[in-house]
């Protein structure tokens, strides 16, 4: 991987793209990841049979790259937050764990304001995003000048680098590398701290995006190699979700670390 070298820290915000987890993440120095933040949201206290039924409601909802890029072209980006993610702000000390100058990796980064917020604190940021418009808007809306280069090791890929901050955003398809969960765990260092942000709601009412990701799926994806701790859970239901017919919308943040044995 072009961003894997040294020791890195990871923070990612994850939703589901075409049934696969996608996220915003942070890397530390330049080696396997040492911290990760990833969001997931689903209904509370559901058993596996009920969860499987709910997941099947989204089984035919695949968000292809073309649709993702089209949404950016047409400014249909309701998932973008015009502020720093509150869950990240609330748990940043848990992520940093006393470390300075952390390198953050944001897969499927969009134009998240979290990236500039972290860079302003002295951290470095690496992002991956397929939509060129999202990358350019990030720099332009942050009032940052940037350079654009091709990436010889990745055919068709480009990297955009800030002139004022330590921020590098790669325009390429993250899923060309491997399955998402396998990719994330392969990046994690032994002392990596991964913050996973998830969403819980009734997918029989709304099929996404963002996509329903139950606790059981988090356990299935990461439980064999990682310990998973719930840090925070809150009611995130707004008029936007109510208009889609939802009567609950829960956001959770989990801390994921590699098992020591």
Place of tokens 């890029």: 69
Predicted pLDDT at 183:
77
d(CA 245, CA 261): 45
pLDDT tens, position by position, 139-195: 999 999 999 999 887 788 899 999 999 999 999 887 665 577 777 788 787 877 788
pLDDT tens, position by position, 121-153: 999 888 888 899 999 999 999 999 999 999 887
The ranges assigned to domains in the chain are 8-21+41-193
Predicted pLDDT at 13:
43
pLDDT score of 21 more than 60 = no
- The conformation of residue 13, written as its DSSP 8-state character, comes to E
Pairing of strands 250-258, 39-41: antiparallel
Q: What are phi and psi of 43, to 5 degrees?
A: -70, 150
Query: Is residue 57 very low, low, confident or very high in pLDDT (cuts 50, 70, 90)?
Result: low
**In the chain, which ranges are continuous DSSP H helix?**
48-56, 65-73, 86-96, 114-120, 132-141, 180-187, 215-222, 239-243
Query: Which regions of the chain does DSSP assign to beta strands (E)?
Result: 13-17, 20-24, 33-36, 39-41, 103-107, 124-129, 146-150, 158-162, 167-171, 188-200, 226-235, 250-258
- 225 φψ region: left (φ > 0), alpha (ψ -120 to 50), beta (else): alpha
Q: What is the CATH number of domain 8-21+41-193?
A: 3.40.50.150
pTM: 0.69
């Amino acid at each position: 991987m072009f961003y894997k070298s040294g020791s890195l820290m990871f923070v990612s915000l994850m939703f589901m793209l075409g049934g696969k987890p996608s996220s915003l993440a942070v890397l530390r120095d330049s080696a396997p990841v040492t911290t990760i933040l990833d969001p997931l949201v689903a209904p509370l206290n559901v058993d596996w049979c009920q969860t499987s039924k709910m997941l099947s409601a989204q089984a035919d909802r695949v968000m292809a790259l073309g649709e993702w890029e089209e949404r950016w072209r047409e400014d249909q980006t309701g998932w973008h937050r015009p502020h720093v993610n509150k869950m990240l702000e609330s748990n940043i000390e848990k992520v940093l764990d006393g470390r300075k100058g952390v390198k953050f990796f944001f897969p499927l980064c969009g134009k998240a304001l979290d990236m500039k917020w972290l860079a302003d604190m002295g951290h470095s940021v690496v992002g991956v995003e397929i939509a060129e418009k999202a990358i350019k808007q990030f720099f332009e809306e942050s009032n940052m000048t940037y350079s654009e280069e091709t990436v010889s090791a990745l055919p068709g890929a480009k990297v955009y680098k800030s002139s004022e901050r330590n921020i590098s955003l790669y325009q390429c398809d993250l899923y060309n590398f491997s399955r998402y969960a396998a990719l994330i765990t392969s990046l994690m260092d032994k002392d990596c701290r991964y913050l996973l942000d998830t969403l819980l709601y009734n997918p029989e009412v709304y099929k996404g995006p963002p996509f329903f990701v139950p606790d059981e799926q988090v356990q299935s994806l990461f439980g064999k190699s990682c310990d998973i701790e719930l840090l925070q859970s809150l009611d995130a239901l707004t008029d936007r979700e109510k208009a889609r017919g939802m009567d609950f919308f829960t956001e959770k943040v989990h801390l994921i670390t590699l098992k020591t044995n």
